[in-house]
């Protein structure tokens, strides 16, 4: 199961491609919004501390310029050291989700892993629209041109968000939203 999505056909330099983005009705789950100021990241930016992003239910809409970076990672973690990484390798032109340290994985030998998808960028611009809940992350890259979803089972909720950069990543003005649970909202 995943969030409802809107499918579109979009003209790209590679030809017509299908894109998908979360339906706008999901915006009704937003309880607060935070503006993230543009800044250069050369190692680590703790978004949780700086912008009070500590809810395990979040929506992030990040605008990044990775033209001077080798890799950029958005890390969701907890106090036990468990984490899920959503990253982009500039040289490999690969978007990935790495859940190898995400928590409970002993139920199936092949569960742990790093899942990848090709993603070419134009002028080093990477837009990541992410939906995080207590057991999954959905990633919509560059307006839904590349989409990935992964589940995980942390033993404690992920309440910390960090942006990790190898090289220089320019974080441009972005937004973060705290979400309410659909289960607390019976309508």
Count how many domains the chain has. 1
Domain that holds residue 60: 31-179
* Torsion angle defined by CA atoms of residues 139, 33, 77 and 19, in that order, rounded to the nearest 10 degrees: 0
Residues 6+ apart with CB under 8 A from 141: 88, 95, 119, 126, 127, 128, 129, 147, 148
Query: Does residue 146 fall inside a structural domain?
Result: yes
> What is the pLDDT at residue 109?
86
Query: Does residue 12 fall inside a structural domain?
Result: no
Query: Does residue 2 fall inside a structural domain?
Result: no
Those residues of the chain that have pLDDT short of 70 are 1, 184-187
* CATH number of the structural domain spanning residue 48: 2.60.120.560
What phi and psi, each to the nearest 5 degrees, are found at residue 114? -120, 120
> What is the pLDDT at residue 72?
98
Query: Does residue 141 fall inside a structural domain?
Result: yes
What phi and psi, each to the nearest 5 degrees, are found at residue 105? -140, 0
Query: Does residue 49 fall inside a structural domain?
Result: yes
> What is the pLDDT at residue 184?
58
Query: Does residue 139 fall inside a structural domain?
Result: yes
> What is the pLDDT at residue 181?
86
């Amino acid at each position: 199961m995943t969030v409802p999505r809107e499918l579109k056909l979009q003209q790209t330099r590679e030809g017509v491609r299908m894109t998908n983005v979360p339906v706008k009705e999901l915006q009704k789950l937003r309880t607060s919004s935070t503006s993230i100021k543009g800044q250069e990241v050369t190692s680590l930016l703790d978004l949780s501390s700086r912008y009070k992003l500590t809810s395990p239910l979040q929506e992030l809409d990040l605008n990044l310029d990775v033209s001077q970076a080798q890799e950029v990672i958005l890390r969701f973690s907890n106090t036990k050291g468990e984490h899920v990484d959503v990253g982009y390798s500039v040289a490999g032109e690969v978007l990935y989700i790495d859940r190898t340290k995400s928590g409970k994985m002993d139920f199936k030998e092949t569960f742990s892993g790093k899942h990848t998808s090709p993603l070419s960028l134009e002028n080093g611009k990477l837009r990541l629209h992410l939906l995080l809940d207590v057991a999954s992350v959905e990633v919509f890259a560059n307006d839904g041109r590349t989409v990935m979803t992964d589940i995980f089972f942390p033993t404690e909720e992920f309440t910390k968000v960090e942006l990790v950069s190898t090289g220089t990543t320019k974080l441009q003005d972005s937004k973060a939203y705290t979400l309410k649970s659909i289960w607390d909202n019976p309508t």
